[in-house]
Chain A
Amino acid sequence: MTTNPLVEIKDLNFSYDERAILKGINMTMPRGKVIAIMGGSGCGKTTLLRLIGGVVSPSSGYVRVDDQIVHELGRDKLFSLRRKMSMLFQFGALFTDLSVFDNVAFQMREHTDLPESVIRDLVFMKLHAVGLRGAHNLMPAELSGGMARRVALARSIALDPMLVMYDEPFAGLDPISLSVIGKLIRRLTDALGMTSILVTHDVHQSLEIVDYVYFISEGVIAAHGTPSEVRGSVSPFVHQFIHSEVDGPVPFHYPAEKYATDLNLENRIA
């Protein structure tokens, strides 16, 4: 088994309409680990996942996945790489016209010639792993948020990928579902020998299950380390983030004119 990191990000810059989203990002993600990317809303975390998946191309720098530079791949090679990775979207992105069973079977039917009896067994095994074998007949509209996320998780491991990316897997979940999803991510990563990249801003749940954390702020890596290093970090940004402080390096106020100017007080005082 190769010891190269599964994902390597080097001097990565990404701009959207001349607005720099990511600036000089460098990351290394070893195989078999759970890595979290944290940061405030709109800091470019999801964009980073889209760059790893080859949905968008970097302005400069590169993302290397399994020894292939993603943005240099042609369509066929990119699709071939994507068969070995999968992504769990923020709200599951289940196909609403397919049942739970068919959602999990989707990739198997699209990419393999497996007989239906084998697909059936595999789907039941995947659904059993997330505790929803009994829900295989339900439609996505009949599922709760937590159940939909678990079905999406079963779908994302359908073809035993080497890399799974999770975009805000904990968003909008009750504490029980949140804990279930967290534990499932860790357990499945270990059991299937895959690598997981978790984009999240749920600090406490993530630090319980991940091996390494990157903090992104304003498009750059503000801090990184193992959960214990991060907990003991003296970095003001990490401190503010972990302790949910209202003000700090990430200001409470969006940049604006002076308050007195906006309230038209300066002229009156003068």
Chain B
Amino acid sequence: MPRRIVIGIRGVGHRIIESVWRLGYAARFFSLILLKSGTSIRRFGLIIRELYFTGVLTMVIILVSGLFVGMVLGLQGYETLQKFGAETAVGTLVALSLVRELGPVVAGLLFASRAGSAITAEIGLMKATEQLEAMGMMAVDPIARVVAPRFWAGVISMPLLAAMFSAMGVFGGYLVAVVLIGVDEGSFWSQMQSVVDFRFDIVNGIIKTCVFGVAITAIAVFEGYNAPPTAEGVSGATTRTVVTSALVILGLDFVLTSFMFRGVG
């Protein structure tokens, strides 16, 4: 067999082994976070502080994006539905699109870009400047003191942000369809209310956001904590957080959707 092919196969093998090893390492890291979450729960103030950085500071981009996504949905929905004389169903279309798919997914993508990248960069820089090692030398576990509060803050923030995104989106759809175009307000709200199901649409949407919240924040803290302690290492880790989170969100969304909405009208 030519040497080039052997080298190629060996390279692929190495990469697969490394990926599996990294996945196992990430699972172990994730278990450690859960095991060492006691401090965060006992001292909830640590999580509150991180909730501000992770949740409150992400609200602006979530609310503005939600408004525009809702407005675009209202506009596009109206354009299509009016061809069939069903323009009053625009409220249903906007609400279902948001609570089932766009709310969790787009909010997740925005959350990964804004909060996930910030978490990775902050932890990565703390590592690069020896702050984590200094903490360990002071007999304070950095996973319990730095990683776990950020993880739980992310897990708590994500569903709340996604709910805000969807609510703002519905308001955006209302602005365009009812206020701007003049669709009947009563039909807009009543159709939405009758079609959107609490259990199948809203609860499933919330489950998705919780899963995305865990996935994004776990990726962010893992990448930050394991970033090579150099400028290049931290920038690479930040990029990996955003790219991996985006792919994981989209992949998980497909899996969750296929389980959740089987046979649901």
Contact = CB atoms under 8 A, between A and B. Distances in A.
Contact of A110 (B129, B131, B138): B138
B139 A111 contact: yes
B138 A106 contact: yes
A82 B138 contact: yes
A80 interface: yes
Contacts of B131: 93-96
- Most chain A CB neighbours (cut-off 10 Å) among B129, B134, B135, B140: B134
Interface of B is mostly: helix
Interface in A51-106: 53, 55, 79-80, 82-83, 85-87, 89-91, 93-97, 106
B130 interface: yes
Interface string B131-160: 101111111110001000000000000000
Contacts of A87: 134, 137
A110 B141 CA distance: 10
B158 to A, nearest CB: 22
A94 B138 CA distance: 12
Nearest to A78: B139
Nearest to B129: A93
A55 B139 contact: no
Interface residues of A, number: 21
A47 interface: no
A107 B145 CA distance: 12
A81 B19 CA distance: 37
Contact of B137 (A80, A82, A90): A82
B9 to A, nearest CB: 26
Given A87-B134, A89-B134, A79 B129 contact: no
Nearest to A89: B130
Nearest to B122: A97
A195 B140 CA distance: 22
8 contacts: A82-B137, A82-B138, A82-B139, A83-B138, A87-B134, A93-B130, A110-B138, A111-B139
Interface of A: 53, 55, 79-80, 82-83, 85-87, 89-91, 93-97, 106-107, 110-111
Interface of B: 122, 125-126, 129-131, 133-141, 145
Given A85-B137, A96-B126, 8 more contacts: A82-B136, A82-B139, A86-B137, A86-B138, A87-B137, A89-B130, A90-B130, A110-B145
